[in-house]
Structure 1
Amino acid sequence: MLDLGDLMVFAKVVETESLTKAGTQLGLPKSTVSRRISRLEQHLGVHLLNRSTRAVTVTQDGALFFEYCLRSIGVLRDGERALQSRQHEPRGVVRVAVPAMLGQSLLGPLFARFLEQYPDVRLVSVVSDDAVALLKGGFDVAIGIGPLADSGLIAVKLGTTESGLFGAPGYFERKGNPQTHVELPRFDLLAAGTVDRRQRWTLHADDQAVTVEFSPKLICNDLLLLRDAAVSELGIASLPAFLCKHDLAAGRLLEVLPGWQTPELNFFALFAEPREMPVRVRSLVDFLVENLRPSLSWEIH
């Protein structure tokens, strides 16, 4: 069987017309170049080069074989470039876990744009707030909401969204409108959570901060449900900007105690090992960093 390395050596000798120059360019001793040429000639059963103390010239058979060598080397280089290109172009499957509050409202449209931009990528998306378990189970990346617990995972911040208190105009027509935070517990308040117990909101404005404790009318761990309950005139809810800005613009919701905000939410891309991150995963993370932040703001696109 032909040794591809011998073909490269032969082609370089023909190009340079010298065993010494070929060896220098290939990083090989002249003796090794000579031995590999002799092995190639023995394998083919023909004389490829005329060698003298002054020059190296190619024989007729050598010239014919040189043409085929160039074609073969060209094909190999094309293959090398193709593989290198694959390593820099996102392709393959990305498995991503997303929190419920983002999956339906923001990430769906962004994923569609990402797949349009990278047609060779496929996404497997699972709605789950247990990022650690899914990453340990083989997922590539998970979207987490901070503050983050110490899990040993690597985190890249995707963006921040402000939050505030909102209710429907119809609710305020029936119940009135709180003028200070002290009045809030007298209203129907809707809280995020999973346990039936008294809740606490921390409100801040500039350098001021106050705490409001209350027994909620509704407790749930789905912000979309909280938003729908507020729009349906059930009460007042703490909602992030990205989830309620369209309702606010359309008049379906009104801000309560303007200037006071509830704590902002930070979103992160979580993954286990950055040094082993494939291009397809890095491309998704970079895409979210660039495109998710504007969506999290109050700005309407």
Structure 2
Amino acid sequence: MLDLNQVYLFVEVVRAGSFAEAARRVGMPANTIGRRVQQLESELKSRLILRSTRKLTLTAIGQTFYEQCARNIEELVLAGQQATDTHPEPSGPLRVALSADFFEILPISVFTDFLARYPGISLELVIDNAYLDLIESGVDLALRPESLLDENATRRVLRKRSMRLVASPKYLRACGTPASLDELSQYDCLLVSRSTGPQIWDLNGPEGPARVQVRSRFLASTSNPVRKAAIEGLGIAFLQDAIVKKDIEQGRLVPVLDQYRSEPSNICAVFPNHRHIRRGATIFVESIQKKLTELYKE
């Protein structure tokens, strides 16, 4: 009789694309996984995987075996997860993907309180602004703007976000305060962007949606460098409310043309499709939602 643990490891190696990545996902040494897959091949008396230093390739028999086993193994794993998740204390690794900007918004107490409350969980944060395939990257949940989600994604809305124009008092004393959106083109604007081409800010004001093209001598791919540049007096920035909330309260930044904001959008927790949502992931999302509600009440 085949060892189902060996079959499971074989399926994980194929899904991960390498023994090293499969080892990281399942928390087992790569050489142990390699030995277990070799034992499976011995039981089947067939080579399943062709190994090289650069890539992993399935044999024809390996491809057929994977297609026959993958779905059944997934159902067995999900059944095991569901049985485990009925335990009152969740445990195991939890892998969460989020952008650098969202990490800046979240207080570190979100993570420390969660880990203190659930000592059986180990938390891995994947901080990356690039779009990740959640299933391929082995992520249990991701925190993303709703605008980046597939319409069929399994999601939970965490909070609304909007953006506003801000600048330091020092910059406004030196350069003046714009009286209208049209005047923004005369000011240094600080951009969160990966593109050096023409930059457009989309805003919503008393007269409805408005678009304005701005110029900049400073741009960055994430918000925090732009926030710091604004505090130092380099120009006017267009940033999320939550990112500049404390700076406005403490006088480091002041609103500019505050009747204009971005169209509100949702920040969501999104879960991989076709996978059982682990209890630890849902509890983590609840912790974040509660903390955000406390910190950013309108």
Q: Give the TM-score, by structure 2 length.
A: 0.66
Q: Quick check: 1:119 aligned with 2:119?
A: yes
Note closer, same or farther for the CA distance 1:102–1:109 as it changes in structure 2 (3 Å cut). Answer: farther
Paired residue for 1:186?
186
User: CA offset at residue 84 of structure 1?
Assistant: 7.5
How far 1:255 sits from its partner (Å)?
0.6
Contact 2:167 2:233 in 1 (8 A): yes
Cα 1:200–1:297 change in 2 (3 A) is farther
1:134 CA drift (Å):
4.5
Residue identity (%): 26
Tell me the distance in 2 between the aligned counterparts of 1:84 and 1:196.
50
Give the aligned partner of residue 21 of structure 2.
Answer: none
Asked whether the 8 Å contact 2:165–2:256 carries over to 1, the reply is yes
Give the Cα–Cα distance (whole angstroms) in 2 for the partners of residues 262 and 141 of structure 1. Answer: 26
Following superposition, the deviation at residue 107 of structure 1 comes to 5.1
Give the distance between the partners of 1:151 and 1:204, measured in 2 at CA: 24
Please tell me the residue identity of whatever aligns with 1:190: L
Taking the aligned partners of 2:142 and 2:262, their CA distance within structure 1 comes to: 25
- CA spacing shift, 1:297–1:99, aligned 2, 3 Å: farther
What is the identity, as a one-letter code, of the residue corresponding to 1:219? L
CA contact (8 A) 2:85 2:278 kept: no
Q: CA deviation at 1:286?
A: 2.1
Moved more, 224-233 or 120-129: 120-129
SS at match of 1:165: strand
For residue 268 of structure 2, what is the aligned residue in structure 1? 268
Name the structure 1 match of 2:163. Answer: 163
Q: Please give the per-residue CA displacement for 1:61-107, whole angstroms capped at 9, x wherever unaligned.
A: xxxxxxxxxxxxxxxxxxxxxx8786232222111111110223415
CA-CA distance at 1:149 after TM superposition: 4.2
Partner of 1:148: 148
User: TM-score, with normalisation over the residues of structure 1?
Assistant: 0.66
Contact 2:144–2:270, Cα closer than 8 Å, also in 1: yes
Distance (whole Å) between structure 2 residues aligned to residue 207 and residue 277 of structure 1: 43
Structure 1 pair 265–273 and aligned structure 2 pair: CA distance change class (3 A): same
In 1, Cα distance between equivalents of 2:213 and 2:142: 33
- For residues 236-257 of structure 1, give each alpha carbon's deviation from its aligned partner in whole angstroms, at most 9, with x where no partner exists: 0001111111110111111101
Alignment pair present for 1:87 and 2:107 = no
Q: How many residues align?
A: 216
1:265 shift after superposition: 4.3
Listed as ranges, the matches of 1:105-254 within 5 Å are 105-106=105-106, 108-150=108-150, 153-206=153-206, 208-254=208-254
Relative to its length, the structure with more helix (as a share) is: 1
Mapped contact 1:158–1:269 kept (Cα < 8 A): yes
Deviation at 1:150, TM superposition (A): 2.5
How far apart, in 2, do the equivalents of 1:281 and 1:85 lie? Answer: 11
Q: Is the 8 A contact 1:131 1:144 kept in 2?
A: no
Equivalent-residue separation in structure 1 for 2:107 and 2:266 (angstroms): 15
Provide the C-alpha distance between the structure 2 equivalents of 1:273 and 1:149, rounded to a whole number of angstroms. 12
Cα distance, 1:170–1:90 mapped onto 2, change above 3 Å: same
1:215-245 alpha-carbon deviations (Å, 9 max, x no partner): 2222211100110010010000001111111
CA shift in 2, pair 1:186/1:118, >3 Å = same
Q: State whether residues 240 and 264 of structure 1, in contact with CA within 8 Å, keep that contact through their aligned partners in structure 2.
A: no
After the TM superposition, list the runs of 4 or more consecutive aligned residues in structure 1 that deviate by more than 3 angstroms: 83-86, 293-298
Structure 1 residues 131, 213: CA separation in 2 closer, same or farther (over 3 Å shift)?
A: closer
- Asked whether the 8 Å contact 2:91–2:121 carries over to 1, the reply is yes
> Quick one: structure 1 residues 131 and 287, their matched pair in 2 at CA, closer, same or farther if it must change by over 3 Å?
farther
**Distance change (3 Å), C-alpha of 1:116 and 1:257:** same
Contact 2:134 2:272 in 1 (8 A): no
Stretch moving more, 133-142 or 194-203: 133-142
SS in 1 for 2:108: helix
Q: Could you tell me which amino acid in structure 1 is paired with residue 209 of structure 2? A: A
Where does structure 1 lack aligned partners over 5 or more consecutive residues?
A: 1-82
- Higher Rg of the two aligned structures: 1
Q: Secondary structure at the match of 1:126?
A: strand
**Alpha-carbon distance between aligned partners in 1 of 2:91 and 2:131, rounded to the nearest angstrom:** 23
Determine the C-alpha separation between the residues in 1 that align with 2:150 and 2:156.
14
Q: What is the SS of the residue equivalent to 1:217?
A: strand
